[in-house]
Amino acid sequence: MAKVRLEHITKAYKGPPVVDDVNLEVREGEFLVLLGPSGCGKTTTLRMVAGLERPTKGDVYIGDTLVNDVEPKDRDIAMVFQSYALYPHMTVHDNLAFPLKMHKHTKAEIEERVTKAATILEIGDLLKRRPKELSGGQRQRVALGRAIVRDPKVFLMDEPLSNLDAKLRVQTRVELKNLQKRLGTTTVYVTHDQAEAMTLADRVALMKQGVIQQVGSPTEVYAHPTNKFVAGFLGSPTMNFIEGVVRRTDVGAVFDCGEFTFPLHPALAGVTGGTSKGTTYGIRAEDVGVSTEPKEGSAEVTVFGSELMGSEQFVYGVKEKLKIVARAPMDFRAPIGSHVWMDLTSPRAHLFEAETEKALI
């Protein structure tokens, strides 16, 4: 295994850069997920590590070796694609063996590595089949196996689970995480799926328009987002954002959004400095208290929808133009059109500067 280091990586075609001055280090043995919406530059970044794209500016290191001018086949990396990229005319055995044959390994070593990979992935009984005879999950295992047999320094994975159905995707990502920990291979994994990122990653690098917004553990980026984009991209349903101003009163700091005013929790009030500049208040559904009874400091809203999610539900409330979603127990009763009271004074809420969208805490 080896670390991967990107120094001031930029990639531009004819227009603005699709990857813009990215600095990132992936530690040895780490599972790092590049996360972001479609078109944010994450796959282009991965392809530059692989050597399939050449940086317009900047340097790519694998280990301590500068690899800008090194061919993909000589970088000691293995890539797993969304499309599996299996040879349809070859058996599973031959698909696994093919990269080893290309690198002139002996027949005995090829058989040893193929058998080992097949055992790890539990596909030993599939070795004589061809890809068209396999399910999507089985094809994905074979694609992973073809990467494993090479024993590379780095795995590069480009949305490898996106073609699987929802149930199989959950099962496979658990297996993939366990597999990576067993092998200890440095892994860079690209996805737009926040659930994959949060469950797989040791660290997440969240991208927007070619720029890395924040790098940290899943817990860190979820609990302490550096800006409004990060806060809104992570979490389902998305974070509630309320535009308004912070005001000082005789009883402490309050947030005034026009439709109503509510007190700020002391954990937030101290960082505002009494500013009257535009501010965005962010709070996740699980931090919004909801009740059918009036409560001082809570916002009275009209229920316009709910979603039952098994052991819990999401309740959607509206007050004039402002919409808020709260998480509630499954037995909470609030019919559409009824009034409920939502408590927004959580210590885990966030304040963002309206103009820059940067976190104030």
Q: Which position has the token pair 């349809």?
A: 88
Per mean pLDDT, which range of 16-25, 247-256, 313-322 is the poorest? 247-256
High-pLDDT (> 70) share of the chain, %: 98
Angle at 85 (CA atoms; ends 82, 87), nearest 5 degrees: 160
Burial of residue 168 (number of CB atoms within 10 Å: 0-12, 13-18, 19+): middle
CB 8 within 8 A of CB 60: no
Q: Count of CB atoms within 10 A of residue 91's CB?
A: 17
Q: Tell me the per-residue pLDDT of 237-267, one tens digit each, with 9 for 90 and over.
A: 999 999 999 888 887 888 999 888 999 998 8
Q: Using pLDDT thresholds of 50, 70 and 90, give the confidence band for residue 277.
A: low
Please state, in angstroms and rounded to a whole number, the distance separating the CA atoms of residues 56 and 71.
16
**Domains along the chain with CATH numbers:** 4-227 (3.40.50.300), 240-353 (2.40.50.140)
Q: Tell me the per-residue pLDDT of 54-70, one tens digit each, with 9 for 90 and over.
A: 999 999 999 999 999 99
- Residue at 69: amino acid letter: D
Q: Using pLDDT thresholds of 50, 70 and 90, give the confidence band for residue 295.
A: confident
User: In terms of pLDDT, which residue wins out, 171 or 134?
Assistant: 134
E strand segments, 292-359: 299-308, 312-319, 322-329, 339-343, 350-353
Please state, in angstroms and rounded to a whole number, the distance separating the CA atoms of residues 326 and 328.
6
Please state, in angstroms and rounded to a whole number, the distance separating the CA atoms of residues 300 and 315.
13
pTM above 0.85, yes or no: yes
Per mean pLDDT, which range of 35-49, 138-152, 208-222, 332-346 is the poorest? 138-152
Average pLDDT, stretch 270-285? 75
CB 188 within 8 A of CB 177: no
Task: Produce one character per residue of 182-191: b if its CB has 16 or more CB atoms within 10 Å, e if not.
Answer: ebebbbbbbb
- Those residues with Cβ within 8 angstroms of residue 111's Cβ, 6 or more apart along the chain or in another chain: none
* Bond prior to 237 in cis (omega within 30° of 0): yes
Angle at 181 (CA atoms; ends 97, 59), nearest 5 degrees: 80
Q: Using pLDDT thresholds of 50, 70 and 90, give the confidence band for residue 271.
A: low
What is the pLDDT of the chain when averaged over all its residues? 91
CB 279 within 8 A of CB 354: yes
- Residue at 20: amino acid letter: D
**What's the pLDDT score for residue 82?**
77
Please state, in angstroms and rounded to a whole number, the distance separating the CA atoms of residues 3 and 26.
5
Q: Tell me the per-residue pLDDT of 167-219, one tens digit each, with 9 for 90 and over.
A: 888 888 888 888 899 889 999 999 999 999 999 999 999 999 999 999 999 99
Q: Using pLDDT thresholds of 50, 70 and 90, give the confidence band for residue 274.
A: very low
CA distances from 122 to 115, 118, 140, 166, 222 (A): 10, 6, 12, 21, 35
E strand segments, the chain: 4-11, 19-26, 31-35, 57-62, 65-66, 77-80, 154-158, 186-191, 203-208, 211-216, 240-249, 252-256, 261-263, 278-283, 289-291, 299-308, 312-319, 322-329, 339-343, 350-353
Of 179, 57, 160, nearest to 122 by C-alpha is 179
Of 6, 115, 15, nearest to 58 by C-alpha is 6
